[in-house]
Structure formats: structure tokens, C-alpha cells
Amino acid sequence: MPEQINMDIFRLGFGLMRLPRNEDNTIDVPQTSQMVDMFLEAGGTYFDTAYAYGGSEDAIRQALVERYPRDRYTLATKLIARDGASEEELKEEFNTSLQRTGAGYFDFYLLHSLQRGNYKNYEANHLWEYVKELKEKGLIKHYGFSFHADPELLEELLTAHPDVEFVQLQINYADWDNPGVSSRRNLEICRAHGKPVVVMEPVKGGLLADPIDQVKAVFDKEGTDLSYAAWAIRFVASQDNILAVLSGMSSIAQMEDNLRSMKGFTGMTEHELEVIKEAQEALDADKSIPCTSCHYCTPGCPMNIPIPEIFTVENRKAGSPEFRTIREYNIVTQDKGKASDCISCGQCESICPQQLPIISLLEKARVFEQ
């Protein structure tokens, strides 16, 4: 019988993409080792790295694998279907990861960052079959995939690959109903398919660790000693069907804060969830484009441009890495018109209750296509 995933574990996971760096940009292994010690002592077990995280797999070999018994922790890494790489080269990523980490096997192995633009690469190179072979050989215990796309593709993948054991999703309170990420809907789909979820980006790349002033005011009035990052992580950890919430910690101070906020945590209270809702409303109210997403503009658009969704991406781009903004734009315009398809017919402006200059706003949004 296949080994079952243990869900009864400390929910905070140690994301290894943003490890502390030295002045020469190499990973600070001594500080990472200290963070590993703190994490394990607090009851943490889940470590997450990837073939594509420069230096991370080698660093965790030194900071964790060579210093602790193999049954003391669980280790996850990922295979990414790089454009232009052959099937043999892609499959060799596993052996490289195994050599870098010295782990002997991986508890969790993921096909990395599936989205509209690359998911067919995994099919074409027989990588779904490959991870099954690795499991049969005892080289991995559980396999899944990390996902950055729309609910329709997630449903398609889980239907086509029902033996997938878990999914890694971007979930945070800022993206809960963001059409470019669809955190809530994607989580619901995984629940419906019975797939445990590992959460990435619970603080949206650090954006929710230092949010806009309106959001800070919402949390500050509560008078707690919780950091802004702690509010974000605890919100995600309160959801059902969560295996681990990954925090990409890059300092001892961040580790201390995360461990303190998660010690003895069993879930948010109803009041705390209302505070999160208020923070979400504060985020939504802070719009450079005051679009209300009424969608009056879209039914008559001859180019089928998802105007409100494009404006949502525009409003959320502040503080987000460029690659993430472009990815979210590609998701909302998938199989639909893009900003550059606008023919300036003006029907949208004639019906917009907010009287927005939609044509010129779409022209500015063309930067996402460059």
C-alpha cells in the first residue's frame, strides 16, 4: 500500500528560495544552519527547495542533510521543464538534485511551475510517467506539481492525472479573489479532488509583510504583537486541507517571527477572519484605476477583452516582481483579447458607470505584453 501523506504536522514550512546571502551573493550557510536548528527545534519538518533555486540544494545539504538524521525532516524539490531542453536533460535534473542535496531520496517531488505557457512540455517529455517511475524505485515518496494558472487548467490537470498526491498553490489574502491568481477557487478545486495543498507566497513575495498604510492601520488597531507577515501566514494556515505553508525566510529574525506566530496555533478566530476581510477591503479600495468590476463594458467588446481583469492586474502590480505581473496578465487574457487588441471603438467608455478613459488605460496596459 502506498505511503499516506502525514497531515498531522507543524504547518509552517521552510521555503529555501530566499536564503540569507553573503556580500558575494553566495548563500550564508552558517546562518542557514542556525535557522534550520531553530525550525527543527520548534517542531518544523517540511523543507522546500528546487533545481532552479540557485545554490539552494547545495546549501541545504550542508545546513540540514549532513547535520541531521534523514528521518528527522522531509525534503521537497522540483523539476522544471526548461524550454529547449531535451527529455534526457530534463530527467537528469532529478539526479542533479539528488547529488546536490545528498538526501538519498525526496519525500516530495514536484513538477515545477505549471502554467498555460509550459504545461504541455511536461506531457511531451513524459515527465508525468517519469515521476511515477521514480516513486516505484523508492527515490521519491510523493509526487505532485506547483501551479500558476487558472482554475480551468487546474481542473484539467487533476482530471488527467488523478494519481497526483498533492498540489502547491499560491495562496494569500491579497490574491484570495484575484482573477490573475484565483487562490480561493484553486484551493476549492484541490479540496474537491482530495489533494492536500502546500502553500507558496503566503505573504505575496514579501508584499504583505510590509503592506500599504491602509492595511497596516487595520492590523494596528487590533493591538496585538503579531507582525503583518504573521497575520498573512496565519490566515492561510487556517484553511482546510493545508499540508504546509511555505515561508521563504531569509534571516534569523524572520524565522523567529514566524515560529513565534505559529507556536500552538490552531486556527484564526471569527473575529480575526473579519480583520482579514477588512484588510482585503482596504487593499481593494486602494486602486489606481477605480474600476468596480461591474463588467458592463465586456459583453459588447468586439475583441472580447477582459477589461476589469486587466485593470485588476494593473492595480496589483505595485510592489510585485515584473515576472509575476506578466504571468497574471497572461492568465486573465488567456483565450481572450489582449490590451493591444483594442480597436478604440469606444463602446466600453460609453457604458462605463465610472466614466473611465478605458481606451487610454488599455493602451498603458500594453506594457505587460512586452
- Taking CA atoms, 303 is separated from 65, 147, 299, 349, in Å, by 54, 28, 10, 15
Identify the pLDDT of residue 8. Answer: 63
Q: Are 339 and 363 in contact (CB under 8 A)?
A: yes
Per-residue pLDDT tens over the stretch 248-294: 999 999 999 999 999 889 899 999 999 999 999 998 887 678 787 88
Q: Does the structure show a pLDDT above 90 at 329?
A: yes
Listing DSSP states for 175-196 in one string gives STT-TTT-HHHHHHHHHHTT--
User: What pLDDT, on a 0 to 100 scale, did the predictor assign at position 24?
Assistant: 94
Residues 119 and 77: beta-carbon distance below 8 Å: no
Rounded to an integer, what is the distance from CA 270 to the centroid of its chain? 25
Any idea what DSSP says for residue 21?
B
Q: How many residues does the chain have?
A: 370
Q: What is the pLDDT of residue 73?
A: 97
Summarised one tens digit per residue, pLDDT across range 156-209 is 999 999 999 999 999 999 989 988 789 999 999 999 999 999 999 999 878 899
12-278: CATH topology: TIM Barrel (3.20.20)
Indicate the average pLDDT of the chain.
93
Residue 317 has pLDDT above 90, yes or no: no
Q: What is the pLDDT of residues 129-146, one digit of tens each?
A: 999 999 999 999 999 999
What is the model's pLDDT at position 6?
A: 67
Q: Residue 166 and residue 82: Cα distance in Å, rounded?
A: 22
Residue 219 contacts by C-beta under 8 Å, 6 or more apart in sequence? Answer: 226, 228, 231, 275, 279
Domain extents in the chain = 12-278, 307-369
Of the chain, the percentage scoring pLDDT greater than 90 comes to 76
**Angstrom distance (rounded) from CA 22 to CA 31:** 10
Separation of CA 319 from chain center:
16
